[in-house]
Structure 1
Amino acid sequence: MFLSGLLLLFLLPDWTESIDDDTVDINTLGRIIDFFEHNYKRIDRDGHPRQYAVAINVPKHQCQPNFNPGYNNFLTQENAINVKNAITDETNALYQGAELIAAGTRKMKGYNRHSESLLLNPAGNSPMTKLLNKRKDGCSVFYTFQSPCVDSCLNAAKDHNILKALKNWKEHSGIKAFVFKNIWKQDPEKNLQSEFKQIVAHVPLFRCVSENRCYACKGLGNTPIDEHCLSAKKIKDEL
């Protein structure tokens, strides 16, 4: 029994470290999302923000504690103007770079193709698939300005849903984080508790509303989704 206890003491630090290595640092995540918002945010001519999404696959240390993303050390192969021009063009609305992909919304006949779907579909050969293949054990972060819509993106019966792509992403090594800022305008009254669990089943879900305010949504297994990820009111009440 004594020897077993000693063995556990020797193994525990390494086991704990391995868990931490596969988890994004939430403070660093806030700085990464703030970098996206400052550099790639899609703004209308009237000054109103519009839906867009960004995904990155970067070296693991860039998602770990004490990393501060800046122009000289983060996504240095991407040109912010090129990214914004590409995602603003609604005939294509897609940018594919070295470590970053991004999308706005694409005008189709009778509807707009959502940015999450543009990046994650087709599930086996999407821009996200190609991005993940470039670095097998890096840190992959997917950020969408508004949460994936319940009626299409999270609806398994719809052609453009992202659920199969999330399942594929789960198999990728390294740190993973799916992040949103606002709740999609048509979904506040939907059952987001169960809908967001479809994301959490595959990748960790976060909500980042500012550089210093990120929340782990949790929700794995029987754990409920954190209230901060379900309501605008909860966040406003704490401001």
Structure 2
Amino acid sequence: MAGLCWVVVTLTLLLSGENSSAAVDKNQLAKITKFIIERYDIKTQVSVAVNIPVKTVNQNYLEEVFKRATAAAVQKKLSEDSVYPNDTSDDRVVVAKPDFKEWYTDHAEALVLQNMKPLVESRDGNFLVFYTFYSPCGAKCTNLKNRNSIIPKINQVFPNWGQFAFVFSKVFDKTSKGVPIDKDEPVESLKQLGNTKVGHDNIFRCYKPKNEAFKCINCFSGKEPVAQCVGNVD
């Protein structure tokens, strides 16, 4: 599904334990994230929400989880400037792209967060992963002074799950017009995200470094962001 822009994904995945304090299995998280990217041919900002049972995660099972959310079904909704599924027909997956208006843009992350009721209602036995191709922008998404910040909604939605992860693939370091943003903005934005109900231990960058296999890394060492999560470096 080439050309998907600004989409966010939320999903459930296998942990290395059975309680909310268990560490996320980064190998399984990498498999799930890679599956999403390849399924929807994600090459720029996309946001997706998914519930995946905690106990078993493998490629065949992911096909079952995403059975309704085919590439064609998602592409149809997004081409209509809608959110997938935009109804209660799929209680596992939500997908959105940015809605560009003349004077304003509804960000993909916000659109997914606003359409997660079916996932919340089917959360039992699931782990939540929120995937966005780009890390949240600092000017709006994680700016508490901006009335369109996603932080209040994150704090409302994420605690419905006992286990969750927030995942991105690339650091948002340029505007949509290619203008570089201040290097301190991604740092401050990630710190703000870490201070939400998501928590520092549940934020990951999943990507393919040069000459390495696709992998996921923790974005914080203690409460300090790591270099790979605030700049597009390997």
Task: Give the alignment's TM-score, normalised by structure 1.
Answer: 0.74
Instruction: Choose from 147, 151, 160 the match for 2:135.
Output: 147
Shift of 1:127: 1.0
Alignment partner of 2:183: what SS? coil
Shift of 1:171: 1.8
What is the CA deviation profile of residues 30-65 of structure 1, one whole-angstrom value per residue up to 9, with x for unaligned ones? 1111111111235xxxxxx33211111221124xxx
Q: Which runs of 5+ in 1 are unaligned?
A: 1-15, 43-48, 121-125
AA aligned to 2:194 is V
2:74 alignment counterpart: 83
AA aligned to 2:102 is K
CA contact (8 A) 1:52 1:87 kept: no
Alignment partner of 2:124: what SS? coil
CA contact (8 A) 1:136 1:172 kept: no
The 1:154/1:21 distance shift into structure 2, 3 A limit, reads closer
CA distance in 2, matches of 1:151, 1:17: 36
The Cα RMSD (Å) is: 2.5
Please give the residue correspondences for 1:33-182 in structure 2 after superposition, counting only pairs within 5 Å: 33-42=33-42, 49-62=43-56, 67-70=57-60, 72-90=63-81, 92-96=82-86, 97-120=90-113, 126-182=114-170
AA aligned to 1:112 is T
Please give the residue correspondences for 1:186-201 in structure 2 after superposition, counting only pairs within 5 Å: 186=175, 187=181, 189-201=183-195
CA distance in 2, matches of 1:198, 1:129: 25
CA contact (8 A) 2:141 2:148 kept: yes
1:213 alignment counterpart: 215
AA aligned to 2:220 is K
AA aligned to 1:217 is C
Which protein has the larger Cα radius of gyration, Structure 1 or Structure 2?
1
Shift of 1:144: 0.5
What is the CA deviation profile of residues 95-125 of structure 1, one whole-angstrom value per residue up to 9, with x for unaligned ones? 34320000011132323211011112xxxxx
The 1:73/1:199 distance shift into structure 2, 3 A limit, reads same
Identity %: 25
The 1:162/1:171 distance shift into structure 2, 3 A limit, reads same
What is the CA deviation profile of residues 13-38 of structure 1, one whole-angstrom value per residue up to 9, with x for unaligned ones? xxx95558743210111111111111
CA contact (8 A) 1:95 1:103 kept: no
Shift of 1:192: 2.6
The 1:99/1:110 distance shift into structure 2, 3 A limit, reads same
Report the number of matched residues. 201
Structure possessing the higher relative contact order (Cα contacts under 8 Å, 6 or more residues apart)? 2
CA distance in 1, matches of 2:230, 2:44: 20
CA contact (8 A) 1:60 1:174 kept: no
CA contact (8 A) 1:136 1:174 kept: no
CA distance in 2, matches of 1:57, 1:140: 6
Shift of 1:219: 5.3
Alignment partner of 1:144: what SS? strand
